Amino acid sequence: MAATRPPKEENAVWETVSVIIQALLLAVVLRTFLFQPFNIPSGSMKPTLLVGDYIFVSKWSYGYSKHSFPFSLGPFEGRVWEGIPERGDVVVFKYPNDTSKDYIKRVIGLPGDTVQMRDSVVYVNDKAVTRGEQGVFVDEGSRRSTPIYIETQDSGRSYETIDFDPGTVADNTEAFVVPEAHYFFLGDNRDNSADSRFDVGMVPAENLVGKAQVIFLSLKDGTPAWQIWNWPSDMRWDRIFKGL
């Protein structure tokens, strides 16, 4: 008796399932080793990043750790192919006190550095980071305005910061010594950022997830990304493809 062929419907279902599995595996590989998207839920990095920005983070920039994998389920400890962040890089990292949470801040202190805030000015190894006023930032929600300050690292790397309330506890701190294999982070919104001055503390190198590279989508605060019909009116078009 001749063998019977499986029904065409069964073949079609299996082919569909196979394509879906392959697509999911490809997505996991891309997310783990190349790029991972993140959205910005808080204002701690204003004016550089706004609530409603969606960014791509390069996973290879600083090498890989267990936190590079979904749910931090990497099969090894430490980092492989480790790269060293530069002062001024915007980095996604795992919150040291709860590695299920992702934070995004700017690298200010490298291993061995001493970092301190004095009257709103950042000092690294007892040398002030150059800071100059340039322009005004108007908060999208509260409509409060404040000067924009341009900080410039010795490397020439410049970025914008804001300071709504000079003279607060956030603007005058103790001197922090960064341990080996750790980094010191600050938010660009200096009066509204949980960072290395406070409960975040020093971030282990193993906790680095990747370097923020570009904004690929930006929607006004409160607009869900899935509401595509609101994109034309709520999109911040001038922020699309803005490099970080």
Q: Looking at the annotation, which residues are catalytic?
A: 44, 105
Q: What does the alpha-carbon distance between residue 62 and residue 212 come to, in Å, rounded to a whole number?
A: 11
* 3-state DSSP assignment of residue 223: coil
Cα distance between residue 199 and residue 180, in whole Å? 19
Count of helices and strands (H, E) across the chain: 2, 14
Q: How far apart are the first and last CA of the chain?
A: 68
| In contact, 129 and 153? CB cutoff 8 Å | yes
d(C-alpha 61, C-alpha 64), whole Å = 9
